[in-house]
Chains A and B, each alone.
Chain A
Amino acid sequence: MSEAKPRIRVRGLTKIFGDKAGAALPLLAAGQNRAEVQKQTGAVIGLHDVSFDVGEGEILVVMGLSGSGKSTCLRCINRLIEPTSGTVFVDDTDVTALDERALMEFRRTRFGMVFQQFALFPHRTILRNVEYGLEVQGVAAEARRERALAAIETVGLKGWDQHYPSQLSGGMQQRAGLARALALNPDVLLMDEAFSALDPLIRRDMQQELVALQKRLKKTIVFVSHDLDEAIALGGRIVLMKDGRVVQEGTAADFLANPADDYVRRFVEHIDVLGVVTAGDAMRAPAAVKPWQSTAAEALASLVQTGEPVMTVVCHEGRFQGTVDADTLRRAGETELRLLLSDREACVPTSATLNETVAKLAGGRGEIAVIDAERLLRGVIANADLVAALARRRADTAH
């Protein structure tokens, strides 16, 4: 966890369906697996000992195939499904310990939920749908309407507020679903396969918009998905589940680099490596780098010696300033590098994916700088480094 204090803490969450939960728990504790317990007691294990944290303003993707328990897990967080044991803390509140009334209050103000099949109320207009949560809270009609309209505008549905859900396309319906959750201004958004029912193109748009929205609104989001590409597009940490347990937790790149077991390995086998590996993973230490008061002659000597395509130039503090190519250096003699600089933008942040890196590389001179948030030079990537990085990943996932 990068954040000091996680917003949501899930600890030892277990859900056993059926009335034989009492009999099943000790068997699970004794280390029997899901199939064995089900055979002996008839109880179906939905979740077993699931723990994870979600940081403030983070998108955590809970991922798994159908039947892995990911949706059950999400519903245990706001207790639409009552967990058999375990705790869920949101900030300092133990959600699992709330009585019925307190839980209702908590849901009204703290949780926004978005559903796979949208679950809009067909008898209410979009406005009245988005108002629903506020209406239940007892917010006065005027304020309710205002906040709902603002939420409708946020998701890009301005002007559709008087339509009924059935008059809208799937993508627009889900925007309304998102607006309904956002109108409450909740701390936590629970999104259950929110984009899975949409067409691929619209799905991708919605993913990008959610990421943009997230940057602006800084909600804490738990997003359930079965789609690894979606998890990568949302860009956060992933909790990978199988048979009601957490198999591995980390970023997609972690899964690629250090798969916990064969299941994870198979899961990430067909991953789009370019979208997961970052410039920070692929970069190497810069060989030809000079401060900007150096002369062209010095730079040229260094460039010839290292065989780099361009000279990378930094300022006193080590911030990336731009590049100078060999031809320019040859013509320039004793001129200071700072006067010869070009391509101030020939750089990517360490967090950039290889997809973004490739785009930059293609338009440049065969090498780009990798910088951090302060523009400090961290490394460089040339065409050959990119190929090498891809080759390494392929080798990793080939077994």
Chain B
Amino acid sequence: MAFEIPRIPLAEWCDVALDWATEHFSGVTRAVSAVVGAGIEGTTDFLVGLPPWLVIAAFGLLVWRLTTARIALATVIGFAFLWNLELWRATLQSLVLVLVSTLFALAIGIPIGVTAALSKRFWRVVAPALDMMQTMPSFVYLIPAIPFFGLGAVSACFATIVFAMPPTIRLTALGIMQTPAELVEAADAFGSSRWQKLFKVQLPLAIPTIMAGINQTIMLALSMVVIAAMIGAGGLGGEVWKAIQRLEAGQGFQAGIAIVVLAVILDRITQHIARHIRRDRQIERG
């Protein structure tokens, strides 16, 4: 007797859920898409419109103020190299996309992380969701992004936010939960309210940890922005994508190396800021 176990229609369920969501929300998301898209494009076009040497100099000065002359010099050389490779436009597209996605990821992720640290129940819901967000192959996020936001930069931005946000949430929560018990006790003993404790003790002490999370988020955002070229995000990822389709290994490596240069610059800047905050505050732990 043949006994057939029916396949669980998981894919169909996901489709139904997505269709339903698309039907009801795509109006809103398309509107959001139009606004954010215009913002991203406007910023990119503005930067591309300026003379590259001016943009590079401005970046250099900004980095110098935030970090050291050495890192600023490396930034200038790195960007000049990318300009020289005639990847200037693509670099700016990627950079703007990374920064915008990161800003959104932080704006959403830090409050979630704080809440998760303060409420055990919320943490129990968030933790598995984070695990899923990080384990899911990143390409998968691209598919549902399209019906909601259309092809292009905004879909890429959405997928990037989802993919890059978990480290910020995780490390914000971790940083706050790791506040030494005796300092929390001292804050309580002096009659701090919950908010005072958070803003005067827990958050300031968690900042180095949160910065580590931000660094990871930026790195993940860069990697996702590259992948998002598959749905028309353009940028350096777009150059790689073109090279794949035309089987031009040289072009592919050139764009790949450009991505590495951009990654190194972003990493050095954020790491330096994180270390600087740690030293500035004379924080000694363990």
Contacts and interface: CB of A to CB of B under 8 A. Distances in A.
Given A80-B185, A119-B183, A164 B190 contact: no
Interface string B187-227: 11111110010001100110000000000000000000000
Interface string B212-246: 00000000000000000000000000000000000
A122 B185 contact: no
B182 A115 contact: yes
B191 A122 contact: no
A166 B191 contact: no
B232 to A, nearest CB: 45
Contacts of B190: 107-108, 113, 132-133, 136, 180, 184
Nearest to B284: A166
Nearest to A125: B282
- The main secondary structure of chain B at its interface with chain A is helix
B284 A122 contact: yes
B140 interface: no
Contacts of B188: 80, 107
Contact of A115 (B186, B191, B192): B186
A91 interface: no
A122 B185 CA distance: 14
Contact of A133 (B180, B182, B191): B191
Contact of A132 (B182, B200, B281, B284): B200
B282 A78 contact: no
Interface string B147-191: 000000000000000000000000000000000101101111111
Nearest to B181: A119
Interface string B254-286: 000000000000000000000000000111100
B205 A105 contact: no
Interface string B18-60: 0000000000000000000000000000000000000000000
Nearest to B207: A123
A195 interface: no
A166 B284 CA distance: 7
B24 to A, nearest CB: 42
Nearest to A110: B191
A78, A111, A113, A123, most chain B CB atoms within 10 A? A123
B212 to A, nearest CB: 16
B189 A135 contact: no
A137 B200 CA distance: 13
Contact of A104 (B183, B191, B284): B191
Interface string A148-164: 00000000000000001
Interface in A102-129: 103-109, 111, 113, 115, 117, 119-123
A123 B191 contact: no
B71 to A, nearest CB: 24
Contacts of B282: 122-123, 164-167
B186 A113 contact: yes
B281 A123 contact: yes
B278 to A, nearest CB: 10
A235 B283 CA distance: 38
Contacts of A78: 189
Nearest to A164: B282
Contacts of B283: 122-123, 166
Contacts, number: 69
B182 A136 contact: no
Nearest to A78: B189
Given A123-B204, A132-B200, A166-B282, A104 B193 contact: yes
A108 B193 CA distance: 10
A136 B192 contact: yes
A136 B195 CA distance: 10
A135 B201 CA distance: 12
Contacts of A165: 282
A122 B190 CA distance: 16
B284 to A, nearest CB: 5
Contacts of A190: 189
Contacts of A108: 190-191
A184 B192 CA distance: 13
A105 B191 contact: yes
A106 B204 contact: no
B179 to A, nearest CB: 10
Nearest to A186: B190
Given A115-B182, A121-B183, A121-B201, A107 B189 contact: yes
B185 A137 contact: no
A115 B284 CA distance: 18
Contacts of B281: 122-123, 164
Interface of B: 180, 182-183, 185-193, 196, 200-201, 204-205, 281-284
28 contacts: A80-B185, A103-B191, A104-B193, A107-B191, A108-B190, A109-B191, A113-B186, A113-B189, A115-B182, A115-B185, A115-B186, A121-B186, A121-B200, A121-B205, A122-B282, A123-B281, A123-B282, A132-B190, A133-B191, A135-B200, A136-B192, A136-B193, A137-B191, A165-B282, A166-B283, A166-B284, A184-B190, A190-B189
Given A115-B182, A136-B190, A136-B192, 14 more contacts: A104-B192, A107-B189, A107-B191, A108-B190, A108-B191, A113-B189, A119-B182, A123-B204, A123-B205, A132-B187, A164-B282, A165-B282, A166-B283, A167-B282
Q: Which 5 A-B pairs have the closest CB atoms?
A: A108-B191, A107-B191, A164-B282, A119-B186, A113-B189
Interface of A: 78, 80, 103-109, 111, 113, 115, 117, 119-123, 132-133, 135-137, 164-167, 180, 184, 190
